[in-house]
Every structure is written in C-alpha cells, then in structure tokens.
Amino acid sequence: MYCTTTDLSIYIILRLPADDMGVRASMIWIRRKLDITVGALLFVSVSLLILVPLACNSSQDRENHSTLNVVDKGNPKLESTLNQLVDAAKRGEAELFAEQINIELVDNHIRVIIECVPNQLESTIEVVTSTGARIEASYDDLLQVVVSINMLSNLTNSDSIRFIRLPQQALPALGQPG
C-alpha cells in the first residue's frame, strides 16, 4: 500500500482519542508547518533547476565567457605598451592610442630601444636595417631605432633580439644641486 506523509499524519490524528484534542490540535499545527516548509523547499529547488540553466545557456554569455577565457598576452619580446600599440594599429587606431598614452608617432613610425642578446649586436643591426628601420644610436647591447609599427612584430622573430621597449623618459631632478 502506498502511503504519503499526508495520509500518515491524518491517520495518526484520526486515531487519537477524543480527549486528546490538545494533542490533535498540535499535530494539525505541526502538519501545516511541515506543508509550508516542504512547499517552500520545493519551490526554491524547482526555481533553481529552471533558472540556472537558462542563465548559463544564453548565447551572449557564452560569447562573453569565451573572450574572457582567452587572454592574448601579446608578444613576450615586446613591452606591454608596444603590444597594445600593435593591436591598435591592426584596428586602425594607432594614432589615437599613441595620443592617449603620450607616445610620439611620426608617419606611423615609433622610436624604440632594442635590447640585443649579448654579443649579437652586429646580427641585430642586419635584421633591423632589413626591415627598413633607421638606427639612431647604439651602446653596448642596446640600439635606439625608429621603426614602422607594422615591423615591430617582425623584429621579434629574430633570435638576436631579446626585448623591445619604449625609451625611458627623463625625470626632472628633485632638490637643490650640490
């Protein structure tokens, strides 16, 4: 025989003697509280089962999650600002980006410092001149070069180049001289 909690509680209540009306009233009150609690739990669990999959299945959320999971860190041989500049150039926004972060561009060319692998200065000079870049100065394993933004990524393919960065800005001296 199939028996639910409702059937069982009614059976218990009906089987109590008539002089135990206080017990019968308590059982009815407990039964109502139990019904309310079970109903609330059922409502919450059904709501969660319906709403959570709907929230996770929207195509817009899938697109947002896919772009968030794939983070392009750029070329490891380029300073992060130069990586951002190269990306902006691909979108046709190089001049706007350079203006926002105060980088001087002349005809889509930028002044950079190339850090060479030790004892590889000569091969780096060959690579740099082959891209059409203009060498302005050199010191130790450093080259100061004016190069097209589009050629920055090509320069990083060379094994003789360790890193490419923007020139460091001079800071005014603080305090009194002497």
* 160 and 89 within one domain: yes
pLDDT digits (tens, 9 = 90+) for 13-54: 555 555 556 666 677 777 787 788 877 877 877 777 777 666
Say yes or no: 89 and 149 in one domain.
yes
What CA–CA distance (Å, rounded) separates 169 from 102? 11
Domain hosting 20: range is 5-55
89 and 131 belong to one structural domain? yes
Instruction: Supply the pLDDT for residue 40.
Output: 80
Specify whether 161 is located in the same domain as 100: yes
How much is the pTM?
0.57
What residue type is assigned to position 42 of the chain?
Answer: L
Residues 46 and 117 in one domain: no
Of 65, 47, 68, 43, which is closest to residue 56 (Cα–Cα)? 65
Q: What is the tally of structural domains in the chain? A: 2
Check whether residue 86 and residue 155 sit in a common domain. yes
Distance, in Å, from the CA atom of 143 to the CA atom of 124, rounded to the nearest integer, reads 9
Q: Are residues 51 and 105 in the same domain?
A: no
Same domain, 89 and 45: no
CA nearest to 167, candidates 104, 122, 118: 104
Q: Within this chain, do residues 29 and 91 fall inside the same structural domain, yes or no? A: no
Whether residue 128 has pLDDT greater than 90: yes
* Whether 97 and 153 share a structural domain: yes
Q: Which residue has the tokens 């060319």?
A: 109
Neighbour-count burial for 128-142, b at 16+ CB within 10 Å, e otherwise: beeeebeeeeeeebe
Nearest to 113 by CA among 80, 139, 76: 139
Residue 164: which residues within 8 A CB-CB, separation 6 or more?
A: 77, 78, 79, 82, 112, 113, 114, 115, 152, 155, 156
CA 114, 170, 129 angle in degrees (round to 5)?
20
Who wins on pLDDT, 49 or 75?
A: 75
